[in-house]
């Protein structure tokens, strides 16, 4: 009961803050500053990278180099909301065994990145991250893996940067196209919060959402991945992303899948590798 009341109180605070200041970023994002993994225990250790966001804010990233690089592709990971890159990198760590390098970065206010997160700031961070990985791998094809909150950010960033930084393939995992829609969906799930659905719609802002830009990503292929049992971002949100995309596109519904757990599943990994093979010449 206490956890339900706490959730209710937090929602009310978010709504009040949004209405009174139009700046609810501090309650909508869940970053941490600590490192959530012991690097000494990692077989392949990350290379620390710092680069500037579009507003000059220092961002931090980890670059992972495959022990036996053999791919024509490189992956840029847009991670989800909670914690920071040191807890999200795990979902792609296995890809190193297949000769593919990848980079994961932290948005404003996450991990060792400076500043405070906001919809505008995270999209500008996405622009900067695309430029960074292109500068690191100018001769490789860029594949974007964008998850949960990072899915919305990644889709918008790829669309914005289409004419500057070429992206060859996008995986959109457990994500959504509209901040308003996902807020309304989340509020609808609690018996104490369902009455606030219309307010959630009104106070959220979709100026930096991906919803009206997803179609512009074509002809870059998009694979939308969503767990059928995702209790954080409902699968209907993933279907909305798919509907807004233009061909070529695919929708992979994961039976029993929870929130952003797809890349931990051996069968999904094989499916991802099969999708990458003609593009990246993976082994």
Q: What is the pLDDT of residues 32-81, one digit of tens each?
A: 999 999 999 999 999 999 999 999 999 999 999 999 999 999 999 999 99
CATH superfamily, domain 2-280, is Alpha/Beta hydrolase fold, catalytic domain (3.40.50.1820)
Phi-psi region of 56 (alpha: psi -120 to 50; beta: other; left: phi over 0): left
Domain boundaries, given as residue ranges, for the chain? 2-280
List pLDDT tens digits, range 141-178: 999 999 999 999 999 999 999 999 999 999 999 999 99
Q: pTM here? A: 0.88
Tell whether the model's pLDDT for residue 12 goes beyond 80: no
Tell whether the model's pLDDT for residue 2 goes beyond 70: no
Tell whether the model's pLDDT for residue 3 goes beyond 70: no
Tell whether the model's pLDDT for residue 15 goes beyond 90: no
Question: Which H, E and C letters describe the chain, residue by residue?
Answer: CHHHHHHHHHHHHHHHHHHHHCCCHHHHCCECCCCCCCHHHCCCCCEEEEEECCCCCEEEEEEECCCCCCCCEEEEEECCCCECHHHHHHHHHHHHHHCCEEEEECCCCCCCCCCCCCHHHHHHHHHHHHHHHHHHCCCCEEEEEEECHHHHHHHHHHHHCCCCCCCCEEEEECCCCCHHHHHHHHHCCCCCCHHHHHHHHHHCCCCCCCCCCHHHHCCCCEEEEEECCCCCCCHHHHHHHHHHCCCCEEEEEECCCCCCCHHHCHHHHHHHHHHHHHHHCCC
């Amino acid at each position: 009961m206490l956890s339900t009341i706490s959730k209710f109180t937090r929602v009310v605070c978010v709504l009040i803050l949004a209405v009174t200041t139009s700046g609810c970023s501090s309650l909508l994002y869940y970053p941490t500053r600590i490192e959530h993994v012991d690097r000494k225990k990692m077989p392949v250790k990350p290379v620390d990278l710092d680069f500037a966001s579009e507003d000059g804010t220092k961002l931090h990233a980890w670059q992972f180099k495959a022990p036996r690089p053999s791919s024509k592709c490189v992956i840029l990971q847009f991670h989800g909301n909670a914690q920071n890159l040191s807890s999200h990198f795990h979902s792609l760590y296995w890809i190193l065994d297949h000769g593919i390098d990848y980079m994961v970065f932290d948005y404003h206010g996450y991990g060792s990145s400076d500043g405070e997160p906001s919809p505008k700031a995270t999209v500008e961070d996405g622009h900067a991250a695309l430029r960074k990985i292109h500068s690191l791998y100018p001769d490789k094809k860029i594949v974007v893996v964008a998850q949960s909150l990072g899915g919305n950010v990644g889709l918008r960033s790829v669309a914005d940067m289409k004419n500057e930084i070429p992206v060859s393939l996008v995986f959109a995992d457990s994500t959504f196209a509209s901040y308003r829609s996902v807020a309304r969906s989340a509020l609808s799930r609690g018996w104490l919060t369902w009455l606030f659905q219309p307010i959630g719609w009104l106070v959220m802002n979709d100026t930096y959402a991906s919803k009206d830009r997803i179609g512009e990503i074509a002809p870059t292929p998009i694979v939308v991945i969503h767990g059928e049992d995702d209790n954080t971002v409902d699968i209907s949100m993933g279907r909305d992303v798919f509907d807004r995309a233009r061909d070529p596109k695919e929708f992979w519904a994961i039976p029993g899948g929870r929130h952003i757990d797809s890349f931990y599943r051996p069968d999904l990994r094989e499916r991802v590798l099969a999708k990458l093979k003609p593009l990246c010449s993976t082994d």
